[in-house]
Amino acid sequence: MYRFFHRGGLAAAALALTAFAPLSPRATTQGQPSVEPQFQSTTVQYTLRTDTSNGMAFVGVGGDIDGQTNPTLTASPGDVVKITMLNGDGVEHDLAIAEFGVSTGSVSAKGAWASITFTATQDGEYIYFCSIPGHRLAGMWGKLEVGAVQSADPEAVSIVRDPTDLPEPVSRRSAQLPKVHLTAEEVTGLLADGTSYLYYTFDGKVPGPMIRARVGDTIELSLTNPTSSKMVHSIDLHAVTGPGGGSAVMQVQPGDSKTFTFKALTPGLFVYHCATPSVAEHISNGMYGMILIEPAGGLPEVDQEFYVMQGEMYTNQPFGTKGQLAFDYQKMLNEQPEYFVFNGASGALATDDHALRAKVGDTVRIYFGVGGPNFTSSFHVIGEMFDRLYNFGSLATAPMAGVQTTLVPPGGAAIVELKLEVPGKYILVDHALSRLERGLVGLLYAEGDDAPDIYHAGPAQ
């Protein structure tokens, strides 16, 4: 479900990258150019050739994988596996598998080779990759499947909030009494391809529904916690003036429902989240969203609006592990997440279903927030600048202009606007870019005519 459209470049490599520790070569043999590798008698043998003719990749040599790009290799538990890497391009490469602690070491001469030999000790899906900086990100990785590969819970559902799923502008209406009802839902959802996780959500999606009101409104908010829940849940809205942002009176037991009322005193974009201990655990598991309090005159009209939130997830299995994953409390305390996500799942906003889409000439507004619970985002759209930035989500101050990247703290928000002038694919990232390798990436597509006076390949015309 969460696969990119093509191999190569930032978008293609982000999803299937596993966390790994520094490696040292082990059980490695190497050779010089034009020397054919001499295989020993091992149970499973593969040869991969490096190729940089179209991005970066490994290409299978011989057997069933011949000519395949980044082929999936297979073995059974207990098999001795030998993988030989042939340097096919004269660029420095290596081949490593983190979980088995093996690496060929670097090989830079065209025609040279190196190999790793190890025992596949247990079932699972593992990633082989080139650890030379940038090569893995550019596409040099593939899978080794050992035995029966775990799969996601068959009952798991998508928890991704579509970025277009947000209310219409409040416009210039007078103050009213909006009534908002939310449901705390504990849902087994898809975290990545073949990977599921027990999420805590508002209304079954991450982030929770975007709430939209205007300054001066009196808002009646109800929260229901179904009898199927195993946890107490609550809500704390940063737009509320009052104890706990509402959470002081909104701790809801399973099978119960509570209501409170507050007046929207200050315009801005605000985060809301569950505030039941452990608060950080509930947030990490998906219980966050945003509430927009528009100024009395409304916001300027734009062509497209999108709703995007960032979070981090602390699983007790490494990034990329298949099957049903579980929350790891100690990793959360140590602030060592396995996943960073936009709208709840690894790479969710880079898919056909949930990528952002607009047209050349459109003015785009993104309501962006960080659920957290721990990490600040350096939000950036590669290839664009923010024509307007409502810093920290404030609508009581004038927006900034011409901003490249904005800092958004956990529990914070920003409103960014940009005009699309050149067609193509724009990548949403946290500019702490190593997080892209843990699933934090989105795509914004701009369709329309080329604009060679602004951007074109080649020399000036």
pLDDT tier, 128 (very low <50, low <70, confident <90, very high otherwise): very high
- At residue 394, does pLDDT exceed 80? yes
Residue 117: pLDDT band by 50, 70, 90 thresholds? very high
CB-based contacts of 357, cutoff 8 Å, min separation 6: 444, 445, 447
Short-list 8, 24, 29, CA closest to 97: 24
Mean pLDDT for the stretch of residues 131-160: 91
Q: Rounded to an integer, what distance in angstroms lies between the CA atom of residue 253 and that of residue 268?
A: 31
Q: What is the pLDDT of residues 289-320, one digit of tens each?
A: 999 999 998 999 999 999 999 999 999 998 98
The string of pLDDT tens digits covering residues 11-51 is 333 333 333 333 444 456 677 665 555 544 468 999 999 99
Element (H, E) at 274: none
Top CATH class of 9-146 equals mainly beta
| Ramachandran bin of 171, using left for φ above 0, alpha for ψ from -120 to 50, beta for the remaining angles | left
**Average pLDDT taken over every residue of the chain:** 91
Q: Where are the domains of the chain?
A: 9-146
Contact yes or no for 106/92 (Cβ under 8 A): yes
3-state secondary structure of 247: helix
Q: Considering the chain, what percentage of its residues have pLDDT values greater than 70?
A: 91
pLDDT given at position 410: 98
341-372 pLDDT tens trace: 999 999 999 999 999 999 999 999 999 999 99
Q: Has residue 436 got a pLDDT over 70?
A: yes
pLDDT at 2: 39
pLDDT(55) > 90: no
pLDDT score recorded for residue 6:
31
| 13 φ/ψ angles, rounded to the nearest 5 degrees | -100, -10
Average pLDDT of the segment spanning 393-405 = 97
What pLDDT score does 437 carry?
86
Sheet holding 413-419, edge to edge: 339-342, 304-313, 363-372, 413-419, 388-390
- Give the dihedral of Cα atoms 182, 184, 189, 191; nearest 10 deg: 90
User: How does DSSP classify residue 315?
Assistant: B
In the chain, pLDDT over 90 holds for what percent of residues? 83
The pLDDT of residue 184 is above 90 = yes
Q: Which residues of 227-254 are buried (b: 16+ CB within 10 A; e: fewer)?
A: eebebbbbbbbbbbeeeebbbeebbbee
Residue in 144, 266, 252 with CA at minimum distance from that of residue 213? 266
Note the pLDDT tens digit of each residue in 409-434.
999 999 999 999 999 999 999 999 99
DSSP-based three-state secondary structure for 174: coil
